[in-house]
Structure 1
Amino acid sequence: MTKIKGGELIADHLIRAGMPYVFGICGHGNVGMLDALYDRKDHITMISPRHEQTAGHMADAYYRVSHQPVATLTSCGPGSANIPMSLACAQADSSAFLAITANVPTSQFNRGPFQETYMHGQASFPDSVKPFVKRSFQPSRVEMLPLALRQATNLLTSGRPGPVNLDVPYNLFQEEADTALEPMNGAGVDNRPGAAPEIITAVTDMLLAANAPLIFVGHGITISEAGADLTDLQHRLQIPQVASPNGMGSLDMADPLSLGFIGRNGTYPANQAGRRADILLTIGARFDDRSASSWREGYSWNIPPSKLIHVDIDPTEIGRNYEPFMGIQADARTFVRQILAELDRRGVTRHEGTKSWLAQIAGWQQEWDSFIAPNFEIDSAPMRPERVVRDMMQVVPDNAILVPDSGAHHNWFMQFWKCRRPQSMLNTWGYSAMGFGVSGVLGAKLAAPDRPCIAVVGDGGFTMTPHVLCTAVEYNIPAIWVIWNNYAWGAIRDLQHGQFGGREIGTSFTHGPNSEPYNPDFAALAKAHGVDGIKVSRSSDFRDALGAAIAANRPYVIDLEVDPGVRPPSTGSWELPPLQAPEPAFGAPWRPL
């Protein structure tokens, strides 16, 4: 062994772990790490956005597209205090990145030096992120770094993926020690446990005997890269699928077996099937309130009498919201392949026992299509939301990556977007952090440079993190932002109108004595940053503008005026106690006798 600086150890480890990027912001607390990265510029790229929250969302989205974790780097005090939102967003959606945070020198712990978090413990910044990470490591000597680095990296993607924090005191970046990185096996951690053989036999028996089977998928099926195998299983057994947002695309949503999103703003066929399924095979989904109509009986699910088979790699999610008939801790892809192998053993290549069930679903689909179809054709100024989604589906290529932000616009894409591939629709779902889509599209584009990457973001969310335009220009990242301009925090304004009699305060963006709608000219703002920008107010102009943005292969902003008075038709419910839960706008709850 030869003497090596702590910062060099960290940088060498990131390279060895296959991390091509560090997304980070400079500060006096991490300048030693920056110096180590300088010497390794040919092997790992440092990208510096203008805010730490953006760095975290970029790393989160990068993982969702590539399933390769990368690292973030932030300085002590406020620099790292800006990253908990990104960590929380990643943790809630089972996405992984290594958050390297700097801290004050160990010799100054508990003296209250510049930017130390010390009120309840010395250098206690890790306490700030513990609810949002799988583990926080804080080595206090250079010799402790190799073990912490190995453990942190393995933990990122073992079991349920999630972010991990490595908190490094300032002096460790620059101090030297006679130490070296610990060996890491190329095989890594076995992250694909399967179910017991007798369980596979029992599940297969249940699926083959079911009259109205349904498969419900979440992000777990996407993370496990089980889409192709699941598609094979569904085609063989002719079982329809409903999805939570981050499970969308595991089955091509143009497939007749794909019923779309289930829950408050799900599709009518999805909720109808959920209410009536006799066997519900759920893989990698956790029955959150929005995909379960706040667990109200008969609105999205009836569990029981529906028999729930709940498969998840995280045992804490099995039975959290619904008691399963059968709970199975397993990797999604391994489990699906086990079922396929059992079908092969039995010689089952096609199961036709669901014909009447699928015919019933086709009837619900026809009712739903008749109800929604007219609004997709309306040409108006400002645009109707349905028309925005339709035009994007017609213009955007199948290999594009859509990165919606949190906001009213997201409901429309949940209900009507047809995702064609896995890992091509990235949603901030569990924590629903504004800024994820605005910032994450940069990380998505770095992970998939040959695919169009489009963020659909609200005007409120965009103005939280508009500095992404600087990063796009500095690093030549040709992302596209479609800004859903409805001059409001629209989702909350809708809630005020629906539940508080229109007592609107703090939600609309206005200016002047007559309270005229106000927003900056986003196209002009883009051009001021060196980004192409255009304002679109009429439906007939949007398709050409979006096509031009995709063809340009440069950073691009479309300032799109959308009608704020049109709300998505609820087919489920969403309860915010003690407010009265709304009834579906289309369809009605159903409970078996």
Structure 2
Amino acid sequence: MAKMKGGELIADYLVQEEVPYIFGICGHGNVGILDALYERRDRIKLISPRHEQCAGHMADAYFRVKHKPVATLTSTGPGSANLVMAAITALSDSSAFLAITSNVPTSQHNRAPFQELYKHNQADFAQVMRPVTKRAFQPTRVDMLPLALRQAMDTMVTGRPGPVNLDIPYNVYQEEADVELPPRAHVHGRHRPGASEADIAAALDLLAAARKPVIFIGHGATLSEAGPEITELADRLQIPVITSPNGMGCIRGDHALALGFIGRNGAYPANEAGRRSDLVLTLGTRFDDRSASSWHAGYSWNFPQTKLVHVDIDPQELGRNYAPDLGVIADVKVFTRQLLNASAARPEIEAKRYAPWLDQVRGWQAEWEAFVRPHFEDSTSPLRPEFVVGTLQKLLPEDVILSLDSGVHHNWFMQFWQARRPQSMLNSWGYSSMGFGVCGVLGAQLAAPGRPCVAVVGDGGFTMAPYVLCTAVEYNLPVVWIVWNNFAWGAIRDLQYGLFDGREIGTAFYHGATGEPYNPDFAAWARACGADGMTVKRPQDLGAAVQQALKNKRPCVIDVHVDADVRPPSTGTWQLPPIPYKEPAYGKPFKA
């Protein structure tokens, strides 16, 4: 064994695990590890954004793109508290990073030193992180670090991924002990449990009895990288596929069997197929309220009349909202391959069995296309939302990584964007954290330096985190932010119009002196930071601005003025109890 400081051990372990980056901000509580990172700066790079929440969102997005975790580093007190939002965002969407937080020295525990949280227990910050991470560790001696590091790395990626917290008292970074690096974690060979033969046989029996099946895929499908298997299954049996936001791209969005997103702002064919199906094969998703029309029967789904096969690696998600006819704890990729292999021995399960159903689905697709497509060519100022989505779909290359923030723009992209590749459409879906799309795109660019990375963000969300421009310029990250500028918290303003007869308060941005709609000049703001900045108020200017931004390969903000009075056509419903829910604007619920 070698005598090592705690900070050196942590840094060496991250290097051993091939963690290329640590995203974080310095503070007195973590200065003790910075020397170790300096000595290893050729093997692990410290990226320092201007806010700790941004560091967490960057790490989260990095994992979503690469499926390999990186680390964050924050100081005691406020620095680590700023990380809470990013941790819960990652936890809610099954994304992983190692959150190294710092704490007060053990010799000062429970003495109320600077930035100690001590009301209920000494150095209690790990308790703050418990509900927002998969696990929180607090090694208080250097010789406790090897086990904690290995367990933390394994915990992050085994089963359902999630962020893990390692809370380190300041003195542990600098104290020494006779220790050695722990063995490598399982991160490089993830466990992939499969289904039993009985479960596979039962799933095939349900497919053999069905006439109107659909496949519903979510982030579990993306995380297991099951896109090829899911596409093969859909193609072989000609079964339509519905996707949750974080499942988009597993099957190409322009595939003939891809129906898109389901729920209030889902595509009409997805809701029609979901509510009229007789069997749903669910792969790695959990039926949250927005993708299940708040669980109102007949709007998106029709359980229990519809049979349900629910496959997930996390047993806690099986039956959370709908009791399955068959619940299977398995990795989605493994399960789908098992199903494909076993179906070869079941000749009665074939595409022609479901052909009449597919004809129905194609009719809904054609009906929806005829309804929505004309607006994609509308030339208006401010720009119509469909025109913005359609223009970006045409101009952005197939390998683009799209990072979406929360806001009304997200509803439009859920309804109409066709992701062409897996791990290329990043959403804060479970917790819907504003700032994720604004900041996460930086982590995506570091994960995929050769690919264009574009964030579409609201004007409200961008003003929450404009410091991202500084980081992009500092580290020469050619990220493009497209600001969906509608001079409002548009998604909430739409709720006021839809549910409260347009009694608008607190949602629009107005200039106090003139009463006119107000926002900063986002393009000038970008130029002041050393980035490029453009403003688009006419539809004919959007394409050229996007093409120029991609060509320049520099950080850029494109401020796009979008019509706030055009709202996505709801095809399902969504309820904020006890307020009554609205009927779909297009399509009707189905009662079996």
1:354 alignment counterpart: 354
Between the aligned partners of 1:185 and 1:386, the Cα distance in structure 2 is 46
Counting only pairs closer than 5 Å after superposition, residues 72-83 of structure 1 correspond to structure 2 as 72-83=72-83
TM-score (ref. length: structure 2) = 0.99
Contact 1:154 1:189 in 2 (8 A): no
Q: Quick one: which amino acid aligns to residue 449 of structure 2?
A: P
2:265 alignment counterpart: 265
Cα deviation 1:24-52 (Å, max 9, x = unaligned):
00000000111110000110000000000
Counting only pairs closer than 5 Å after superposition, residues 367-406 of structure 1 correspond to structure 2 as 367-406=367-406
What fraction of aligned residue pairs are identical, expressed as a percent? 62
User: Compared with structure 1, are the counterparts of its residues 498 and 346 closer, same or farther at alpha carbon in structure 2 (3 Å cutoff)?
Assistant: closer
2:526 alignment counterpart: 526
Between the aligned partners of 1:190 and 1:49, the Cα distance in structure 2 is 30
2:20 alignment counterpart: 20
User: Compared with structure 1, are the counterparts of its residues 269 and 283 closer, same or farther at alpha carbon in structure 2 (3 Å cutoff)?
Assistant: same
Between the aligned partners of 2:89 and 2:71, the Cα distance in structure 1 is 16
Contact 1:217 1:285 in 2 (8 A): yes
Between the aligned partners of 1:96 and 1:443, the Cα distance in structure 2 is 13
1:440 alignment counterpart: 440
Between the aligned partners of 2:2 and 2:361, the Cα distance in structure 1 is 68
1:485 equivalent in alignment to 2:485:
yes
Between the aligned partners of 2:268 and 2:118, the Cα distance in structure 1 is 53
Secondary structure of the structure 2 residue equivalent to 1:23? strand
Contact 1:2 1:179 in 2 (8 A): yes
Cα deviation 1:101-132 (Å, max 9, x = unaligned):
00000000011101111111100001111111
Please report how far the alpha carbon of residue 512 of structure 1 lies from its aligned counterpart in structure 2 after TM superposition.
Answer: 3.3
1:547 alignment counterpart: 547
2:248 alignment counterpart: 248
Between the aligned partners of 2:268 and 2:115, the Cα distance in structure 1 is 53
Please report how far the alpha carbon of residue 297 of structure 1 lies from its aligned counterpart in structure 2 after TM superposition.
Answer: 0.8
Contact 2:458 2:483 in 1 (8 A): yes
Q: Quick one: which amino acid aligns to residue 535 of structure 1?
A: T
Counting only pairs closer than 5 Å after superposition, residues 53-132 of structure 1 correspond to structure 2 as 53-132=53-132
Between the aligned partners of 2:510 and 2:62, the Cα distance in structure 1 is 36
Please report how far the alpha carbon of residue 346 of structure 1 lies from its aligned counterpart in structure 2 after TM superposition.
Answer: 4.6
Between the aligned partners of 2:358 and 2:349, the Cα distance in structure 1 is 18
Q: Quick one: which amino acid aligns to residue 75 of structure 1?
A: S
2:562 alignment counterpart: 562
Counting only pairs closer than 5 Å after superposition, residues 130-145 of structure 1 correspond to structure 2 as 130-145=130-145
Contact 1:235 1:350 in 2 (8 A): no
Please report how far the alpha carbon of residue 18 of structure 1 lies from its aligned counterpart in structure 2 after TM superposition.
Answer: 1.4
Please report how far the alpha carbon of residue 580 of structure 1 lies from its aligned counterpart in structure 2 after TM superposition.
Answer: 1.1
User: Compared with structure 1, are the counterparts of its residues 347 and 190 closer, same or farther at alpha carbon in structure 2 (3 Å cutoff)?
Assistant: farther
Between the aligned partners of 1:34 and 1:496, the Cα distance in structure 2 is 49
Cα deviation 1:122-150 (Å, max 9, x = unaligned):
00001111111011000010000000000
Contact 1:208 1:351 in 2 (8 A): no
Contact 2:208 2:349 in 1 (8 A): no
Secondary structure of the structure 1 residue equivalent to 2:344? helix
Contact 2:6 2:175 in 1 (8 A): yes
Contact 1:156 1:163 in 2 (8 A): yes
Please report how far the alpha carbon of residue 501 of structure 1 lies from its aligned counterpart in structure 2 after TM superposition.
Answer: 2.1
1:146 equivalent in alignment to 2:136:
no
Secondary structure of the structure 1 residue equivalent to 2:290? coil
Contact 2:154 2:187 in 1 (8 A): no
1:43 alignment counterpart: 43
Please report how far the alpha carbon of residue 189 of structure 1 lies from its aligned counterpart in structure 2 after TM superposition.
Answer: 6.1
- Between 1:116-125 and 1:508-517, the stretch displaced more is 508-517
Between the aligned partners of 1:238 and 1:500, the Cα distance in structure 2 is 44
Secondary structure of the structure 1 residue equivalent to 2:365? helix
Q: Quick one: which amino acid aligns to residue 46 of structure 2?
A: M
Secondary structure of the structure 2 residue equivalent to 1:352? helix
1:196 equivalent in alignment to 2:202:
no
Cα deviation 1:411-446 (Å, max 9, x = unaligned):
000000001111010110000000000000000000
Between the aligned partners of 1:235 and 1:223, the Cα distance in structure 2 is 21
2:331 alignment counterpart: 331
Between the aligned partners of 1:224 and 1:189, the Cα distance in structure 2 is 12
2:467 alignment counterpart: 467
Contact 1:204 1:339 in 2 (8 A): yes
Between the aligned partners of 1:121 and 1:185, the Cα distance in structure 2 is 31
Contact 1:84 1:132 in 2 (8 A): yes
Between the aligned partners of 1:371 and 1:188, the Cα distance in structure 2 is 48
Between the aligned partners of 1:475 and 1:314, the Cα distance in structure 2 is 38
Between the aligned partners of 1:159 and 1:321, the Cα distance in structure 2 is 21
- Runs (5+) with no aligned partner, structure 1: none
Between the aligned partners of 2:157 and 2:264, the Cα distance in structure 1 is 31
- Between 1:511-520 and 1:131-140, the stretch displaced more is 511-520
Please report how far the alpha carbon of residue 373 of structure 1 lies from its aligned counterpart in structure 2 after TM superposition.
Answer: 1.4
- Between 1:483-492 and 1:346-355, the stretch displaced more is 346-355
Cα deviation 1:198-236 (Å, max 9, x = unaligned):
111121232233210100000000000000111111101
Please report how far the alpha carbon of residue 350 of structure 1 lies from its aligned counterpart in structure 2 after TM superposition.
Answer: 5.5
Cα deviation 1:462-487 (Å, max 9, x = unaligned):
00000000000000011110000000
Cα deviation 1:144-198 (Å, max 9, x = unaligned):
0000000000000001000000000000001110111222366866521011011
2:428 alignment counterpart: 428
Q: Quick one: which amino acid aligns to residue 74 of structure 2?
A: T
- Between 1:305-314 and 1:338-347, the stretch displaced more is 338-347
Counting only pairs closer than 5 Å after superposition, residues 232-247 of structure 1 correspond to structure 2 as 232-247=232-247
Between the aligned partners of 1:167 and 1:385, the Cα distance in structure 2 is 44
Between the aligned partners of 1:406 and 1:450, the Cα distance in structure 2 is 26
User: Compared with structure 1, are the counterparts of its residues 531 and 188 closer, same or farther at alpha carbon in structure 2 (3 Å cutoff)?
Assistant: closer
1:573 alignment counterpart: 573
Secondary structure of the structure 2 residue equivalent to 1:280? strand
- Runs (5+) with no aligned partner, structure 2: none
Q: Quick one: which amino acid aligns to residue 315 of structure 2?
A: P
2:590 alignment counterpart: 590
2:162 alignment counterpart: 162
Between the aligned partners of 1:287 and 1:331, the Cα distance in structure 2 is 18
Moved >4 Å (runs of 4+): 185-190, 345-350
User: Compared with structure 1, are the counterparts of its residues 239 and 456 closer, same or farther at alpha carbon in structure 2 (3 Å cutoff)?
Assistant: same
User: Compared with structure 1, are the counterparts of its residues 131 and 453 closer, same or farther at alpha carbon in structure 2 (3 Å cutoff)?
Assistant: same
Between the aligned partners of 2:98 and 2:138, the Cα distance in structure 1 is 13
Between the aligned partners of 1:190 and 1:520, the Cα distance in structure 2 is 47
2:316 alignment counterpart: 316
Secondary structure of the structure 1 residue equivalent to 2:403? strand
Secondary structure of the structure 2 residue equivalent to 1:271? helix
Secondary structure of the structure 1 residue equivalent to 2:564? coil
Cα deviation 1:271-299 (Å, max 9, x = unaligned):
00001111110010000000000000110
User: Compared with structure 1, are the counterparts of its residues 94 and 355 closer, same or farther at alpha carbon in structure 2 (3 Å cutoff)?
Assistant: same
Between the aligned partners of 1:116 and 1:181, the Cα distance in structure 2 is 30
